């Protein structure tokens, strides 16, 4: 009996420790979500929505209002750069037009998407429950004739791939401030930016070494991969 109690106590400690590690890892920016893109992805317009998606990626990867959004492992993540670091976004803080992306544009839809209409948003109210539906009441109701314009793609990031990719958030911000003048309009997206630390002078000096090619057409959408093609 004493032996059984010891084993039970050890198992409980292991579970508690694992839970703590997960909560700490998810609670800070820079969490790894298993996505590693060596180059800037092709992004295509979602017709009728202020959103882009990445048809060639094996991931639910989107761009909205100046930020990249990924739905992975039943969680939403956001980053201002195409390969992270990523920040966990709670269901109650995901922007409305991200929630409204039709099912067909999820390249790796989770199993519970089965049977849902391809041209309609996922049934988040069913998935996340009554409390969430009350908090985000009206999330699936909007005037389809009055949709905000798409944010320009930050194509300057094409210059930064492989070993040149900036992994420090401060350096990313410095480069963004120099090369991308767009300011988010969505209040939930603005909150994402407010949570990021301001770049220091060292990072700004590092960012000044950006290629001249990246500084042309600041904030202009010239991606030849865009279009209105459906998957």
Q: How confident is the model at residue 87 (pLDDT cuts 50, 70, 90)?
A: very high
* pLDDT for 215: 39
Q: Nearest to residue 133, comparing CAs of 89, 101, 99?
A: 99
Q: How confident is the model at residue 162 (pLDDT cuts 50, 70, 90)?
A: very high
Cα–Cα distance measured from residue 60 to residue 224, given in angstroms and rounded to the nearest whole number: 21
What are 10-66's pLDDT values in tens digits? 444 443 333 222 222 233 456 778 888 999 999 999 999 999 999 999 999 999 999
Q: Which two tokens stand for residue 231?
A: 């998957």
Residue 9 has pLDDT above 80, yes or no: no
Residue 189 has pLDDT above 90, yes or no: yes
* pLDDT for 191: 81
Rounded mean pLDDT, 123-140? 96
What distances in angstroms separate CA 4 from CA 8, 9, 11, 59, 158, one per listed residue? 6, 9, 11, 45, 58
Residue 135 has pLDDT above 60, yes or no: yes
What are 191-230's pLDDT values in tens digits? 877 766 554 444 434 444 444 343 333 344 444 444 444 4
Q: Which two tokens stand for residue 3?
A: 């032996």
Q: Which two tokens stand for residue 84?
A: 């992270």
* pLDDT for 192: 74
* pLDDT for 139: 96
* pLDDT for 34: 84
How many CB atoms sit inside 10 A of residue 67's CB?
A: 24
Q: Nearest to residue 132, comparing CAs of 144, 123, 141, 119?
A: 123
Pairing of strands 60-64, 75-79: unpaired
Instruction: Specify the pTM.
Output: 0.75
**Cβ neighbours of residue 120 under 8 Å, at least 6 residues apart?**
102, 103
Residue 78 has pLDDT above 60, yes or no: yes
Residue 7 has pLDDT above 90, yes or no: no
Q: Which two tokens stand for residue 36?
A: 């590693």
> Residue 229 gets which letter from DSSP?
-
Residue 172 has phi, psi (to 5 degrees) of -60, -45
* pLDDT for 29: 55
Residue 6 has pLDDT above 80, yes or no: no
User: What's the distance, CA 40 to chain centroid?
Assistant: 14
* pLDDT for 35: 86
Residue 82 has pLDDT above 90, yes or no: yes
């Amino acid at each position: 009996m004493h032996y059984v109690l010891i084993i039970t106590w050890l198992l409980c400690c292991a579970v508690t420790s694992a839970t703590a590690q997960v909560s700490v890892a998810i609670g800070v920016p820079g969490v790894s979500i298993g996505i590693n893109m060596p180059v800037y992805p092709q992004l295509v317009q979602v017709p009728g929505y202020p959103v882009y998606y990445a048809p060639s990626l094996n991931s639910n990867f989107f761009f909205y209002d100046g930020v990249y959004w990924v739905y992975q492992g039943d969680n939403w993540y956001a980053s201002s750069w195409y390969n992270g670091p990523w920040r966990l976004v709670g269901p109650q803080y995901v922007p409305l037009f991200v929630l409204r992306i039709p099912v067909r544009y999820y390249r790796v839809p989770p199993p519970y998407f089965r049977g849902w209409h391809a041209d309609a948003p996922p049934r988040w109210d069913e998935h996340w429950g009554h409390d969430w539906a009350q908090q985000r009441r009206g999330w699936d109701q909007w005037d389809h004739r009055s949709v905000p314009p798409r944010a320009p793609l930050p194509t300057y990031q094409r210059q930064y791939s492989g070993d040149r990719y900036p992994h420090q958030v401060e350096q990313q911000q410095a480069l963004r401030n120099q090369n991308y003048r767009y300011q988010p309009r969505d209040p939930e997206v603005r909150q994402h930016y407010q949570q990021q630390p301001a770049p220091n002078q060292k990072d700004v000096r590092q960012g000044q070494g950006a290629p001249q090619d990246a500084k042309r057409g600041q904030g202009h959408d010239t991606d030849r991969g865009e279009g209105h093609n459906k998957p």
